[in-house]
Structure 1
């Protein structure tokens, strides 16, 4: 399988190179030249498979040119053995035909573990094979950072630099990143917001001269295709658990960077019957505004009780725009260049096609807190604020009550005690045993100005072989 850029000017690459490259040389994102497609009969035959084996069936077509089957199976077995639930992604019922899929049973209590535990193993495998060293540079709005550090900290061939917005992630999220010890781990708190951090990462991938030609950057953000690939699997898992593929499913996905819901869109294109995909956002609602009114326009970023979604520039949206424009890279490049200067719209028939694919909703902090409180009072089940947004959007946008509605539960509520408190509940979510001493661990991080040159200078000075 070959991978091509959404902007049409970078060379097509194989999986190994896409894994290590992250952002294409033309500034675009890599996507497969073509997707595997599974028949209903084949999907049906996967019922009852352990999660790791299902992951192998769904993902192996994407990597088969680069990794022998036995090696990939071993990686997947190791990846999902560290999750705290035998089902890996268990379903919890909220109401008639309404479910939450718990994607927070990994080591850092967020859905990012599904991809980043695998990504660390993929990087180790490929870098050992190539005898190569890389510098991981990533931006986080809260959860990606800790999942990336946990997934990659044992990799022998990497240095890790994670940027987070200073004082704009929850305390638990920050401590999960900054208390991990290791000479190859560096946390940078940028005096800005997540979009500033993400912009620095993209700029750095576009021009890596600050590394002096001695190494290269590797991506852990969802610009890296391997992240998206791993997230496709749990859509198949949820469907098979609830009677799929013989009945269609609906999914509501809390999303800021569009990666998690884009994986659901791909699952549908790969043959999984999905009747509805709901984009659930907070007040930073650029995706909802586009879907509801065909206007892609950046507003001032707002700080909310759901900080992992405090994002205005949704990187993975470019991958959808590529499909909406008939995979015309030049058209996507032109659109995004105009979007950087002001509001843009797409042709009406393209937008109407997007509306057929997705519904959307924006949920403010009050409605988020109301949902947390209501679900707890109804079921004694505690939602984190991001999942609460997903549940609220699912209920507001649901097209057919006969179709199972599954909200992706993206994080453990213990990561966001302030939101639980704001909801008026007196219950205090507890961290699991392996994190019980989190607030006693020593923190290490460096606060830097909102300056790409300052961040690049820090990385150039502190990577292992600098």
Structure 2
């Protein structure tokens, strides 16, 4: 197994070098040179595995034996040993046709913990084995930053800087990042939106001299390991459904940066018999427009009740486009050049039909999001966070009568109490979240100015 760039101008890499590269040196995204296949017989054998055991089965398909199995096993069990649910990602049955996969039982109460707890262990392992300094640089719309910081805080040989849009994440998300007072953590609060933060990150990773000089490593879902770790819970959820081999199983996935839904696409390409992949977005509905019309065109930014999906430029879209064009790097590169030059990409004809066979999508308005939270709290006593509510709304709109849908609960509702309060529903905060409000914050407010951000990084990384 080797890994290649979507744009075709990087020599094939092994697993660890792919982890360290993050964004490909040619500006593309790293993908496996071939996708491992999982047979129906193998799926049946995996049905009784624990989450950690399943994780090892899937991840070792990609690691090329570069990491001894016992070392990988230790990382997996350490990564998921501090989750509050023994199943790691428990499946909750809401109705005969709807199940909710709870991805918020990690230390920061969000789905990003599932991948980033492992990535923290992996980076620490690589740093020690290779004797390399690792400087992590990332941007967050809220949850990635907290999970990434939690994954590497205090670890020797690693420093982490996270950019987040000032005033555009929830208060709990902000506190989870900025109450960390470890010397290897820097929080930059940027006067701008998430797309601004992400653009700076991409430009810095694209500056190969700067990237090399400061040992920059990626924690965002541009790093393939994030995608790989997330495929595990698709398999795990599917295998928890009784008689799943005989049922039509859909996944409805709240999606902003296209990473979580692309993990499902990868799982399906590996052989997981998913019927529909439903993309749930909010009023920043670039992905819905693409699926329905074939036009991918970033538009105006809108702040919503589901701020982790307040994204117009979805990083992982390039990975999907690569497979859509038949793994043709030249064609993919032409599309991406056109996006940079003209501000949009349009697919039509057979390509659009393929998109609509791969995905369905719904952009959920703020009012519908709150209505869904209220409805499920009243009817089933189950409290949805606003992102999960978008996923449930997509299930209602796009699911068929004889189908079973698994919707991802991507965060604990306590992380987004500003939206929950608007429904009139009260909730009790988990103790670790409540404690955040009494802690001092540590963050640096900066303008959306690349030069200023670079100065901050140079001082921090040394």
Q: Is this a same-fold pair by TM over 0.5?
A: yes
- Give deviations 1:195-237, integer Å, cap 9, x for gaps: 00000000000115447x5431100000000000000001111
Aligned equivalent of 2:136: 136
Q: Residues 369-408 of structure 1 correspond to what in structure 2 (within 5 A)? A: 369-398=370-399, 400-408=400-408
- Secondary structure of 1:81's counterpart equals coil
What TM-score results when the alignment is normalised by the length of structure 1? Answer: 0.97
Q: Is the 8 A contact 1:247 1:273 kept in 2?
A: no
With over 3 angstroms needed to count, the CA separation of the structure-2 counterparts of 1:457 and 1:209, relative to structure 1, is: farther
Structure 1 CA distance for aligned equivalents of residues 137 and 252 of structure 2 = 30
RMSD of aligned Cα (Å): 1.2
Structure 2 CA distance for aligned equivalents of residues 317 and 209 of structure 1 = 26
Q: Residues 93-132 of structure 1 correspond to what in structure 2 (within 5 A)? A: 93-132=93-132
1:2 deviation in Å? 0.5
What TM-score results when the alignment is normalised by the length of structure 2? Answer: 0.97
- Give deviations 1:75-122, integer Å, cap 9, x for gaps: 111111110011111111222221111000000000000000000111
Structure 2 CA distance for aligned equivalents of residues 402 and 158 of structure 1 = 50
1:266 deviation in Å? 0.9
- Give deviations 1:394-435, integer Å, cap 9, x for gaps: 11011x332210101100000001111122x2312x332233
Aligned equivalent of 1:434: 432
In the alignment, is residue 163 of structure 1 matched against residue 171 of structure 2?
Answer: no
Aligned equivalent of 1:449: 447
Aligned equivalent of 2:323: 323
- Give deviations 1:380-399, integer Å, cap 9, x for gaps: 1110000000000111011x
Q: Residues 238-387 of structure 1 correspond to what in structure 2 (within 5 A)? A: 238-243=237-242, 244-340=244-340, 341-387=342-388
Q: Is the 8 A contact 1:384 1:416 kept in 2?
A: yes
- Secondary structure of 1:256's counterpart equals coil
Aligned equivalent of 1:459: 457
- Secondary structure of 1:461's counterpart equals helix
Q: What stretches of structure 1 of length at least 5 have no aligned partner? A: none
- Secondary structure of 2:295's counterpart equals coil
1:34 deviation in Å? 0.7
1:248 deviation in Å? 3.8
Aligned equivalent of 2:13: 13
- Secondary structure of 2:61's counterpart equals helix
Structure 1 CA distance for aligned equivalents of residues 420 and 390 of structure 2 = 13
- Secondary structure of 2:332's counterpart equals helix
Structure 2 CA distance for aligned equivalents of residues 152 and 11 of structure 1 = 29
Q: Is the 8 A contact 2:252 2:391 kept in 1?
A: yes
- Secondary structure of 1:74's counterpart equals helix
- Give deviations 1:135-159, integer Å, cap 9, x for gaps: 1100000000000000111321111
Aligned equivalent of 2:218: 219
- Give deviations 1:246-277, integer Å, cap 9, x for gaps: 43410000000000011111111111110010
Aligned equivalent of 2:231: 232
Aligned equivalent of 2:85: 85
Q: What stretches of structure 2 of length at least 5 have no aligned partner? A: none
Q: Is the 8 A contact 1:210 1:460 kept in 2?
A: no
Structure 1 CA distance for aligned equivalents of residues 177 and 429 of structure 2 = 15
Q: Is the 8 A contact 1:56 1:72 kept in 2?
A: yes
Structure 2 CA distance for aligned equivalents of residues 246 and 33 of structure 1 = 32
Residues 261-270 or 201-210, more deviating: 201-210
1:344 deviation in Å? 2.4
Aligned equivalent of 1:198: 198
Structure 1 CA distance for aligned equivalents of residues 105 and 64 of structure 2 = 28
Q: Is the 8 A contact 1:7 1:28 kept in 2?
A: yes
Structure 1 CA distance for aligned equivalents of residues 391 and 160 of structure 2 = 31
Residues 62-71 or 278-287, more deviating: 62-71
- Secondary structure of 1:160's counterpart equals strand
Q: Is the 8 A contact 2:25 2:208 kept in 1?
A: no
Structure 2 CA distance for aligned equivalents of residues 350 and 155 of structure 1 = 46
- Secondary structure of 1:61's counterpart equals coil
Residues 307-316 or 62-71, more deviating: 62-71
Structure 2 CA distance for aligned equivalents of residues 241 and 12 of structure 1 = 36
- Give deviations 1:113-135, integer Å, cap 9, x for gaps: 00000001111111111100021
Where does structure 1 differ by over 4 angstroms across 4 or more consecutive aligned residues?
Answer: none
Structure 2 CA distance for aligned equivalents of residues 110 and 194 of structure 1 = 18
Q: Is the 8 A contact 2:79 2:117 kept in 1?
A: yes
Structure 2 CA distance for aligned equivalents of residues 53 and 415 of structure 1 = 30
